[in-house]
């Protein structure tokens, strides 16, 4: 089929996120109507990074809108590893907290893996604890990283066939690349995980029925990297001359891709939505419903 004949759908991630948040809000409402407390997400910020503060604000608003409780704890940038771990352990012990999110990146000098590794796996709504990452690898039920869950939800809601599909994931981070590769594999796609040392990246991408770019290199994926009819998911967020830019040349892939997620209102709103869903899941397993 010539590329020109393909009508590309630009995914409205915000609209999709709002649909799911409505369902989550209804679930929270049912718990509260049954006399139970609302689920609660605890977010911890270390330091005063403005981007992190803004992300946290977005998460608080998202919780409020679906009737979920949220708390924020801010520690100074100079907090020691022990201070941060002690604060995480206090949240682990708090019966009123269902989900714990340590906002990343942490200030230099703090060991993020050691800190996220102290979060109770049952409250690990970011899916970063080795217990949850290991369960994902083994195909067991677990709390899974939010961005990969959001990507899978987009693919499902847009009815992108995954069984036997060739999926290429660019990026191999613990928070996006690796977990989304595992989820795609679990959905019976044949997955190729690419990274900064991959040879012939363009050729590999051109073979993909599903292409996920989670890199952080602005406009890395161009029109001639995309197979006609492919589903293209742009996870990357970079700022170029003050302008937010993704990993994919969204305008360039128009008429080639079957669907593409834009860098704004694409994967981002779905990530927060999956954080809400994970918090609800953690709550329901803790209260035993």
Where in 105-164 is the site for ligand NAD (CB under 6 A)?
147
State yes or no: residue 169 binds ligand NAD (CB under 6 A).
no
Q: How far is the CB of 117 from ligand NAD (least distance, A)?
A: 17
State yes or no: residue 271 binds ligand NAD (CB under 6 A).
yes
User: Do 216 and 246 contact (CB within 8 A), yes or no?
Assistant: no
Closer to ligand NAD by Cβ: residue 110 or 214: 214
Choices 17-25, 56-64, 68-76, 166-174 (CB under 6 A): range interacting with ligand NAD: 166-174
Closer to ligand NAD by Cβ: residue 204 or 286: 204
| DSSP three-state, residue 101 | strand
Q: How far is the CB of 202 from ligand NAD (least distance, A)?
A: 10
Closer to ligand NAD by Cβ: residue 47 or 177: 177
State yes or no: residue 215 binds ligand NAD (CB under 6 A).
yes
Q: How far is the CB of 180 from ligand NAD (least distance, A)?
A: 9
Closer to ligand NAD by Cβ: residue 189 or 267: 267
State yes or no: residue 170 binds ligand NAD (CB under 6 A).
yes
The total of other beta-carbon atoms located within 10 Å of residue 65's CB is: 14
Q: How far is the CB of 40 from ligand NAD (least distance, A)?
A: 22
Tell me the residue ranges of DSSP E strands in the chain.
Answer: 9-10, 40-46, 69-75, 99-102, 166-170, 190-194, 210-213, 231-234, 238-240, 243-245, 259-260
Q: Give the x-and-dash track for 221-260 against ligand NAD (CB under 6 A).
A: --------------xxxx----------------------
Contacts for 3 with CB less than 8 Å, ≥ 6 apart: 228, 255, 256
**From 18, 196, 285, 289, residue interacting with ligand NAD (rule: CB under 6 A):** 196
User: Do 273 and 62 contact (CB within 8 A), yes or no?
Assistant: yes
What percentage of the chain's residues is helix, strand, coil (to nearest 5)?
40, 15, 40
| DSSP three-state, residue 139 | coil
Q: Which two tokens stand for residue 37?
A: 């407390």
Choices 3-11, 111-119, 167-175, 224-232 (CB under 6 A): range interacting with ligand NAD: 167-175
**From 210, 214, 248, 259, residue interacting with ligand NAD (rule: CB under 6 A):** 214
Write out the DSSP string of 190-251.
EEEEE-TT-SSHHHHHHT-SEEEE-S--TT-B-GGGS-TT-EEEE---EEETTEEE-SB-TT
State yes or no: residue 173 binds ligand NAD (CB under 6 A).
yes
Q: Using alpha carbons only, what angle is made at residue 266 by residues 108 and 285, rounded to the nearest 5 degrees? A: 70
User: Do 115 and 79 contact (CB within 8 A), yes or no?
Assistant: no
State yes or no: residue 52 binds ligand NAD (CB under 6 A).
no
Q: How far is the CB of 283 from ligand NAD (least distance, A)?
A: 22
Closest among 269, 210, 261, 219 to 239, alpha carbons compared: 219
Maximum C-alpha span of the chain:
59
Q: Please provide residue 167's backbone torsions phi and psi, each rounded to the nearest 5 degrees.
A: -115, 135
Residues forming the active site? 59, 103, 126
Q: How far is the CB of 284 from ligand NAD (least distance, A)?
A: 24
By CB under 6 A, name the binding residues for ligand NAD. Answer: 147, 170-173, 175-177, 194-196, 198, 201, 214-217, 235-238, 267-268, 271
């Amino acid at each position: 089929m010539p590329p020109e004949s393909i009508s590309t759908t630009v995914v409205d991630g915000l609209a999709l996120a709002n649909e799911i948040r409505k369902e989550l809000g209804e679930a929270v409402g049912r718990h509260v109507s049954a006399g139970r407390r609302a689920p609660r997400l605890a977010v911890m910020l270390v330091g005063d990074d403005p981007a992190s503060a803004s992300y946290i604000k977005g998460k608080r608003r998202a919780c409020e809108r679906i009737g979920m409780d949220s708390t924020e704890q801010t520690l100074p940038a100079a907090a020691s590893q022990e201070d941060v771990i002690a604060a995480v352990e206090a949240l682990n012990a708090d019966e009123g907290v269902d989900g714990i999110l340590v906002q990343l990146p942490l200030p230099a000098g703090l060991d993020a893996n050691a800190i996220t590794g102290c979060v109770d796996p049952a409250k690990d709504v970011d899916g970063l604890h080795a217990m949850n990452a290991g369960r994902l690898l083994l195909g067991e039920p677990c709390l899974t990283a939010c961005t990969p869950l959001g990507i899978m939800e987009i693919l499902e809601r847009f009815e992108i066939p995954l069984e036997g599909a060739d999926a290429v994931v660019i990026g191999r981070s613990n928070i996006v690349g690796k977990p989304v590769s595992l989820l795609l594999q679990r959905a019976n796609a044949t997955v190729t995980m690419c990274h900064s040392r991959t040879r012939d990246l363009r050729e590999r991408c051109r073979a993909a029925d599903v292409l996920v770019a989670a890199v952080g290199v602005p406009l890395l994926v161009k029109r001639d990297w995309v197979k006609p009819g492919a589903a293209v998911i742009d996870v990357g967020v970079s700022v170029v001359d003050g302008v937010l830019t993704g990993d994919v040349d969204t305008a360039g892939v128009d008429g080639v891709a079957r669907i593409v997620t834009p860098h704004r209102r694409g994967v981002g709103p779905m990530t927060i939505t999956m954080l809400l869903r994970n918090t609800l899941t953690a709550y329901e397993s803790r209260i035993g419903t």
